[in-house]
Amino acid sequence: MSQRRRRGLRVGALTAAAVIGLSLVGAGPAAAGGGHHGGGSSSPIVAAGLNNPRQLSFTRSGELLVAEAGTGGTEKCLPGPEGGEVCFGTTGSVTKIDHRGRQSRIITGLPSLAGEDRGSAIGPSDVYSDGRHVSVLIGLGADPAVRADLPASGQRMGTLIQTTKNYKTFRTIADFAAWEQANNPVNDPDSNPVGMLSDRGNYVVADAGGNTVLKASSRGKIHLLATFADRLVDAPPFLGLPPGTKIPMQAVPTSVATKGHDGAYYVSQLTGFPFPKGAANIYRIDPRKPKAEPTVYASGLTNVTDLAFNGRDLYAVQMFTDGLLSESTGSLVKVQKGVNKPKIVAGDLPAPYGIAIRHNTAYVTTGSVLADKGQVVRIKLR
C-alpha cells in the first residue's frame, strides 16, 4: 500500500464509511433507534434527519447544539482522500435541540466536502456557545494548499469561525489550516481540525490531520501545545508483507476535554491506518508545564472520536469497537486511569461520534457518516 493511500486512510478515518463501505441500513436495532445499553433497552432518539453529525455541546441555558458536516455539493470537485472525487457545497450547518425537544437548523450555508453519496462529509466538526455567540470549527482533511482551488466560502475550511450579530454573519477566530501550512510540525502538510474545548476565552483544538493539539486565543493567535508522533504497529496480513513487519501508524487526535479540578487537557485518539483494535490512547497534557510531552492516561481503546467528563468519571466514544477495518458498530465506554480495557456503557451504536453530558446523561451523535439519517441518542449513565 502506498504512502499516499495510508495517508488518505488516516484522514478518511474520520469519514470512515468511504473507507470501508459501511452500510448502516439494516444494521440491527441500533440503526433504526439508537444503540443498546448493556441491559438491552434502546436509547431514546433526541434528534433525527441530521447530515453527517459530529461533535455536540450544550449552551449555558441547556439547549443542545450539533455540528453537521453537511452533504457537499456541486460547486467544485477535488480528488478525495480515499480516491474518487469529493465536491464542494455550502450544506454544512448547526442544529439546535431546545428544552422541548424541538430541533431546527439555526446556522446554514457552511462549507462542506462530500462524495457522490453525500455521506462521509467533511465540514462543520464541532460547535460551542458562550451565551452570546456561537463558534463553529470547520474541518478540511487535506493539504491546506487545496483551499486555493475552492470557492470563496471554502476558505473557511480548516478554521474556527464565530457568529457576530446574527447567525448569518461570521468572523474568523483562527485559521488552523494556514498555521499548519506555515509550520507543519509532523509528517506531510495536512489539516483537519475536528474537536475543540473552550477554556477561559481560549480554544484548544485537536487537528486530526496535523497530529497536533493547538491553542488559539480569542484574537486568533495560535500556538502549539503538543505533537503526536507515529507509532510502529504490526502490518495487517492483507498488505502481503513478511510476518512481523512493522509499519508506521499516525496518531490522529480527535477531541479535547478537561476534568476541571486538575487544569489538564485530555485528548482522544482515533489512530491511523491500519486502525488496530485496542491501539487508541487517551492522553493527558499539562498546560502549566511548558513543552510538556503528552502522557498516556488510559490505553486499550479503539477508534475514539470524542470524550467527556461527568464529574471525575471519563467517558469516550469508540466509532468502531472492533476497529475500523472490521466494519463493526461503535460504543460508549467508561475509561479509568491506567486501565487498558474500558467498560462498555452502550454498544451497537451505528458510527457514533460526539458526546455531551448533562445531568448524568450522555447525548451521542450516531450515523455520523450518513446524509439525512444521522441522530442524537440519549444514554443514562447512572
Domain ranges of the chain: 3-48+124-380
Query: Cβ–Cβ contacts within 10 Å for residue 59, how many?
Result: 16
Strands 295-301 and 355-358: unpaired
Identify the CA nearest to 120 among candidates 202, 192, 47. Answer: 192
Q: Which residues of the chain have pLDDT under 70?
A: 1-41, 81-82
Q: What local confidence, expressed as pLDDT, does residue 340 receive?
A: 79
> Which phi and psi angles does 213 have, rounded to 5°?
-120, 125
- Nine-digit cell string for 333: 465506554
Q: What local confidence, expressed as pLDDT, does residue 82 receive?
A: 67
DSSP state string for 205-258: EEETTTTEEEEE-TT--EEEEEE---EEEEPPGGG-PPTT-EEEE---EEEEEE
Strands 85-97 and 103-114: antiparallel
- Write the pLDDT tens digit of every residue in 97-127: 999 999 999 999 999 999 999 999 999 999 9
Residues 6+ apart with CB under 8 A from 238: none
Q: Would you put residue 305 in left (φ > 0), alpha (ψ -120 to 50) or beta?
A: alpha
* Peptide linkage before 29 cis (omega within 30 of 0): no
Per CATH, domain 3-48+124-380 is 3.40.50: no
